[in-house]
Chain A
Amino acid sequence: MDVFILLLEGIFVSFQPLNLGLLIFGCLIGLFVGAMPGLGSVNGVAILIPITFIIPPTAAIIFLAAVYYGAMYGGAISSVMLGIPGASTAVATVFDGRPLAVKGEAMTALTAAAVGSFVGGTVSVILFTLFAPPLAEVALRFNAPETFALMVMAFATFVGLGGDDVPKTIFSILIGLALSTIGLDLITGKPRLIFFNIPGFLHGINFLVLAIGIYGIGEMLWTLEETKGKVQMSKLSVNMKEVGRAFGALKKTIMAMNIGSFLGFFVGILPAAGATPASLMSYGITKQLSKNSKEFGSGVPAGVVAPECANNSASTGSMLPMLTLGIPGSPTTAILLGGMILWGLTPGPLLFTQEPEFVWGLIGSLYIANFFTLVLNIALIPAFLMVLRIPFAILAPVIFVLCVTGGYAPTQSLHDVWLMLLFGFAGYILRKLDYPVAPAVLSIVLGPLAEKALRQSLILSDGSMGIFFDMAEKPIAAIIMYIAIVLLIMPAFGPLYRKFFKKAQTT
């Protein structure tokens, strides 16, 4: 019962006028930074940190958590409306959100994103409230071999992402992995694949540069070619019937909500993963397990719900290692962590007992923030839909400008803008050749995480791969690894199996 009293006190804290005002303001800023390509929750929170020196720590964390949270919702908006991922966490939302908008069902996509986010956020904050201390223990035991096993599992789900053409999918994964090795070697610290000694390659290929290039520029070129610029997205009307239809579509997304919420939370609490991998993995697994997995990518609401649910869930989850262990679960929490230290708090095992007002105020505020962002989002849908009334001839240059700013913003280097344009053309050509591009985007995100975990594990085991299959010493890693292998084999041999099975039947 103690938990509920503490939680009620926390909710009470977040209803104090200053805190509530900052919470709503934070959600709005979050929506904006999330929706602006290139500006994500990381930049939003980093830019706003200095402002928080003039307010008490509890108000500060509520404000910044609301920004973080709002950005998870906001990212979906530009993913759906413009086909440009607003933030790295919303890349997977493009896969199905954009096709839905093109089909004239933007309303459904936005509703699915908002409700999915709300469900993911709420489930995870409940899990957080009830199980924070034991889950911190899980995070503590989740080390390099376990992380690598999880990454292998994620890659295994990707193989199913590109449809039945397994060789083309694997090609796409390998391209992504190769790009992810550019930059600084994670273990030796030496520069790697610095083409023509251009210093811009030293910071590696930013994942957003690839995603914005492929989805923003590539998609724009594709649409221009298909329609010769004459397209106006679709007829749009916002009436009760549409709203009813949008909510009706959610019935089929319950599985996606479950997967997104729980998987997202679990990936979120693991150090150094965060909301981006969570949303991508959630999309992949939902697709694999779905009965109509072939329709994913052509615009199904479950394809929007899965990543949106997971990114909110993970963003809450990633606060757990931040508060209890003092380690960031995502790039944004890394900055929040810096903020906490600057506010004079020591994140770590004692924080829950030493600063209950801070911790429970934050947890309480997450419940409230969830509610407010849902209301804001549903209320603003008509405003977002206006974007689609703009003729494409006007919209295309706007998208182009947003892509360029989005490519420039994360690292502030023109080098990345050129790269982004290059990826745009490459993505366009790959698409013409019918190569799936999503697996490349996914593997550039997970590549560095997987590489680091693999190499750390192999240092620990003196180079033996046995460390991943050691049931006695590392049962978690071994179990995940075996599941991964099964997942990998299933789609790769599925078509073959069906082929032979059918043959056997007909003969």
Chain B
Amino acid sequence: MSIIKKLALVIVSLSLVAVSSVSSAKPFSPKKPVELIIPAGQGGGADEIARLVQGVIEKNDYASKPVIPINKAGGSGGEAMTYVKKKAGDEHTLIITLNNVLTTPVNQPELGIDFFNDFTPLARLITDTFLVWIATEGKNTAGVETFDDFIDLARGNGLVMGGTGSMSEDELLLGMMRGQFGFDAKYVPYSGGGAVAKGLVGGESDFTLNNPSEQMGFYQSGDSKALVMMTPERNPAFPEVPSSYELGYPDLEYYMMRAFMAPAGIDAEVEKYYTGLLHTVYHDDEFQTFNIDDGKLMSWLEGFGLKDFLAIEYAKHGEIIKNFN
């Protein structure tokens, strides 16, 4: 092969590369580390999922740049939401949701957060369930075997409920149950689900409305028991606990959503990239196993389905808050 031929080959191949890179619109991939904002403190449920997602991405090299979880717990998620709102158009910021993203914009109108226009919803990965827990040896709940026993007791006596903080999911849920069953309870806020579980077993509170993972240790040791799970069906992680539908209370249904959103004003390409990345994480074996063992529901939702879901949940929470106050 002559030198000229070689040169020609090089030129042709180079130009081919050039053409191909121009013609196929380059798919988005992050150019710097991606901030994953957690609107809650370290060690909580949202934090746990965020770090699991980070770990799964890192371990399997699902993304070209690392994901960095950052906790902004202030103001019931208000600080995190304000931060993401200001990042409109930023392609390297994500936020994981608790239900506080649905309540804080309503409870704190002074923040000026518009839930439907300040964020780009990407996907919902998980929904967490809630149960009614009592201590096995609770002094005020002795003799309570079923959820109906519990309601009878709660109607007559002012029970103490341990919860995760004012206007958090479990206090809203208490407000919902107050309307449905006509009982009230004294709400004592703790810092985080773990402390709530400890307060129950330590005898300071009479019942809690904790997520499964938060009470798991004491459930397995037999120190606390669940009376009802607020879902249509039983959960394999808690086979003996009846669902609210089974007991004839289909209105008693409530979930915590673990979804991811990006700031408003990002390109469709960017949206597609992150949704795809989350989809890969969702189908990762480790991710699936961890969440199912933990009693969580795997519930992928994206696109219009997700938008509808958020709109319904937003309205539902608005209603709960209105009745609550």
Contact = CB atoms under 8 A, between A and B. Distances in A.
Interface of A: 42, 46, 49-50, 53-54, 140-144, 183-191, 197, 199, 202-204, 271-272, 321, 325-328, 331, 334-335, 337-339, 341-342, 344, 346-351, 411-412, 452, 456, 459-460
B280 to A, nearest CB: 16
Contact of A46 (B42, B72, B75, B192): B42
Interface centre among A186, A188, A326 (most CB of B within 10 A): A326
Nearest to B194: A327
B186 A49 contact: no
Given A186-B189, A188-B166, A351 B42 contact: no
Interface string B50-63: 01101110110000
Nearest to B54: A50
Contacts of A197: 110
A141 B203 CA distance: 8
Nearest to A410: B71
Given A144-B204, A459-B188, A191 B217 contact: no
A13 B207 CA distance: 40
Kindly list the 6 A-B residue pairs having the minimum CB-CB distance in the complex, ordered from nearest. Answer: A348-B217, A334-B43, A203-B74, A202-B74, A349-B221, A189-B166
Contacts of B75: 183-184, 191, 199, 202-203
Nearest to B72: A203
Given A349-B217, A349-B218, A349-B221, A338 B48 contact: yes
Interface string B27-67: 00000000000000111000110011011101100000000
Given A186-B189, A342-B48, A348-B220, A53 B55 contact: yes
Contacts of A203: 72-75, 79
B108 interface: yes
Nearest to B213: A341
B47 to A, nearest CB: 6
Given A140-B198, A191-B108, A272-B195, A53 B58 contact: yes
B110 A325 contact: no
B42 A325 contact: no
A229 B223 CA distance: 63
Contacts of A188: 166-167
B179 interface: no
Given A325-B217, A349-B218, A199 B110 contact: no
Given A199-B79, A203-B79, A327-B198, A335 B43 contact: yes
A197 B166 CA distance: 21
A290 B134 CA distance: 48
Chain B binding surface SS class: helix
Given A202-B79, A203-B73, A460 B188 contact: yes
A204 to B, nearest CB: 7
Contacts of A191: 75, 78, 108, 110
Interface of B: 41-43, 47-48, 51-52, 54-56, 58-59, 69-70, 72-76, 78-79, 82-83, 107-108, 110-111, 160, 165-168, 186-192, 194-195, 197-199, 201-204, 213, 216-218, 220-221, 223, 286, 290, 293-294
Nearest to A459: B188
Given A144-B204, A331-B42, 11 more contacts: A46-B69, A50-B55, A53-B55, A53-B286, A142-B202, A326-B218, A334-B42, A342-B52, A346-B216, A349-B221, A411-B72
Contact of A202 (B47, B78, B220, B290): B78
Nearest to B112: A197
Contacts of B294: 341
B43 to A, nearest CB: 3
A326 B197 contact: yes
A183 B221 contact: no
Contacts of A452: 191
A49 B166 contact: no
Given A341-B294, A456-B190, A412 B70 contact: yes
21 contacts: A46-B51, A50-B58, A141-B202, A144-B188, A187-B166, A189-B76, A190-B108, A190-B166, A199-B83, A202-B75, A203-B75, A328-B194, A334-B41, A334-B43, A338-B43, A342-B51, A350-B217, A350-B221, A411-B72, A459-B188, A460-B186
Most buried by B among A42, A271, A331: A271
